[in-house]
Amino acid sequence: MVGMTAVYQDRWDPVRALDIIARENAVWSFASPTFMVDLLRAHRGHRVDLPSFKYFISGGAKIPSALVHQADEELGVRLIAVWGMTENGAVTVTHLDEPVLAAAESDGKPCPWMELRVVDPETKADLPAGVDGELQVRGANQMLGYIHRPNLTAAAFDQGGWFDTGDIAQADDLGHIRITGRTKDLVIRGGENIPVAELEGALYEHPDISEVAVIAVPDERLGERACVVVVPEAGHSQLTLADINGHLEKLGISRSYWPERLEFIEAMPRTLSGKIQKFQLRRRFGGG
């Protein structure tokens, strides 16, 4: 569209990716945070000069602040957060005139051609800044509907053309949004919503954790409890639930949000685009 050269890698290999970026003078790439983690690890053992590589646009998962710092300090790459869906492409993005950590602190502001609002799940009334609610969007990027699925299309849109994203989010006074969970990913323990995305972001800062996901597991008394599923860093499989909750306590996370179960896994189940398939984790660990 704007005259750029697009370079495609048919099979993911972070070492090869570094060589391709260097050879082709790539300026930016677009992928989930997992791929930047891989690039950083590969670069530590396969030093390649990347003078052209300036930006890594990332969506699909919360970007840990540690990852923002590492990309900036080790690769000289600025992380940019973007949020969107298959149904509407890019909806929000962080801006270059914002602080470097903006990508870790929000999912950005809406693009000029998109609108968004955060509403009460029951009344659909607009919610004030700082309050979690359903995220709805509309605008030029929005699809017209699901092909041959009029019932799904009718369920997704209201009369004002607002599309129900299925995401839980909150807005700030400057128009940024932060995705705090999916309606299907919520952990509701004893009637209290657990902020899954906030927990995961905090746990990514633990030095012994490589990857993490928080899921709901059934509980007879409370309905659900929070289970944290961890891929540990090499040599750190002795991590305990007490270690994890001690880390959350140091970060000021309310005790009422702490997980009550810890499970280990060798690798997260993922889509081809790198998103963790939480339904697979719930299926595996939801039996008690």
Stretch among 20-29, 57-66, 125-134, 165-174 having the lowest mean pLDDT: 57-66
Residues 100 and 120: their CA atoms lie apart, in Å, by 32
Q: Rounded mean pLDDT of 248-259?
A: 92
CA distances in angstroms from 197 to 77, 118, 186, 264, listed in the order given: 24, 17, 9, 19
Q: Three-state SS string across 228-287, please?
A: EEEEECCCCCCCCHHHHHHHHHHCCCCHHHCCCEEEECCCCCECCCCCECHHHHHHHHCC
What's the length of the chain? 288
Q: What is the DSSP secondary structure assignment for residue 273, as one 8-state letter?
A: T
User: What domains lie within the chain, and their CATH numbers?
Assistant: 14-105 (3.40.50.980), 112-179 (2.30.38.10), 187-285 (3.30.300.30)
Residues 136 and 164: their CA atoms lie apart, in Å, by 5
pLDDT mean across residues, the chain? 91
In sequence order, the 6+-apart residues with CB closer than 8 A to the CB of 172 are 106, 129, 130, 178
Q: What is the pLDDT of residues 35-75, one digit of tens each?
A: 898 999 999 999 999 999 999 999 877 788 889 999 999 99
Check residue 184 and give its pLDDT.
65
Four-point Cα dihedral 54, 101, 68, 256, nearest 10: -160
Q: Rounded mean pLDDT of 121-130?
A: 91
Element (H, E) at 42: helix 33-45
The number of beta carbons lying within 10 Å of the beta carbon of residue 29 is 19
Q: Which residue has the tokens 């704007």?
A: 2
In sequence order, the 6+-apart residues with CB closer than 8 A to the CB of 260 are 225, 226, 227, 241
Q: Which residue has the tokens 């012994």?
A: 208
Q: What is the pLDDT of residues 204-232, one digit of tens each?
A: 999 999 999 999 998 877 778 999 999 99
Is residue 159 within 8 A of residue 167, CB to CB? The reply is no
Residue that wins the pLDDT comparison between 86 and 92: 92
Q: What is the pLDDT of residues 190-208, one digit of tens each?
A: 777 788 888 998 999 999 9
Q: What is the pLDDT of residues 260-271, one digit of tens each?
A: 999 999 999 988
Is residue 133 within 8 A of residue 108, CB to CB? The reply is no
